[in-house]
C-alpha cells in the first residue's frame, strides 16, 4: 500500500480543525462541513480528532489512488491559494484554473466544492495517468 496522505499535513490542518480542514483532507466532507458549521462540535470533536488522525490517515491511504499528483501538495494549494486556482493549475486543469483565478474561485462556490471533491478528483487524475481505472 502506497501512502497518499501524510499524518504531518493532517496534524497541521488539525490546528485549524475547528474549520473541518483535516476532515476534508482525509475525505470526510460531510463531517468536515459539520465541523465547519459547529466550530469542531464546539471544540470537543476537534480535540477528540487529535487521537483519531492516525486512523483517518490509514483509511485515506487505502481509499485513494497514489500517483504523480500528490494529495498533500494539492490540499495545501487548495487550502491557502484555492480561490486563485493554484490547486487546479497543479492538477493540470488549466481552463478551470484560469476561471478560478479571474472569478475568486468561481465566487467561492467552486472553492467550497473542491473541498468536498478534491480527493476523488486526484484519484481520477492518477488513475488516468497510470492507465488503470480509479
Instruction: Give how many domains the chain has, as a whole number.
Output: 2
Tell me the average pLDDT across 72-96: 96
**Same domain membership, residue 107 and residue 52:** no
Nearest-CA neighbor of 81 among 107, 67, 100, 109? 100
**Residue 134's pLDDT band (cuts 50, 70, 90):** low
Strand residues in 39-122 grouped as ranges (E) = none
Look at residues 11, 31, 63 and tell me which one is the last residue of a structural domain.
Answer: 63
Full domain range(s) for residue 94: 65-134
Q: How confident is the model over 74-89, as a mean pLDDT?
A: 95
One domain, residues 50 and 80: no
Question: What are 113-125's pLDDT values in tens digits?
Answer: 999 999 999 999 9
pTM value is: 0.90
| Other beta carbons within 10 Å of 24 | 26
49, 83, 110 from 52: Cα distances, Å: 5, 29, 29
What is the C-alpha separation between 74 and 127, in angstroms, rounded?
A: 16
pLDDT in tens, 18-73: 789 999 999 999 999 999 999 999 999 999 999 999 999 999 999 999 999 999 99
Domain stops at, among 63, 87, 117: 63
* Residue labelled with grid coordinates 475525505: 27
pLDDT given at position 15: 92
How far is it, in rounded angstroms, from Cα 99 to Cα 8?
A: 31
Query: What is the reported pLDDT for 17?
Result: 74
Amino acid at each position: 500500500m502506497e501512502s497518499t496522505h501524510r499524518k504531518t499535513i493532517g496534524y497541521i490542518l488539525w490546528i485549524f480543525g475547528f474549520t473541518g480542514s483535516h476532515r476534508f483532507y482525509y475525505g470526510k466532507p460531510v463531517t468536515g462541513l459539520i465541523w465547519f458549521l459547529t466550530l469542531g462540535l464546539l471544540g470537543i470533536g476537534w480535540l477528540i480528532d487529535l487521537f483519531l488522525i492516525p486512523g483517518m490517515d490509514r483509511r485515506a491511504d487505502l481509499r485513494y489512488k497514489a500517483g504523480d499528483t500528490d494529495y498533500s501538495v494539492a490540499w495545501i494549494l487548495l487550502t491557502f491559494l484555492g480561490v486563485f486556482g493554484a490547486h487546479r493549475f497543479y492538477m493540470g486543469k488549466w481552463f478551470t484554473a484560469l476561471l478560478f483565478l479571474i472569478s475568486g474561485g468561481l465566487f467561492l462556490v467552486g472553492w467550497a466544492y473542491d473541498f468536498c471533491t478534491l480527493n476523488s478528483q486526484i484519484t481520477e487524475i492518477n488513475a488516468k495517468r497510470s492507465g488503470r481505472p480509479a
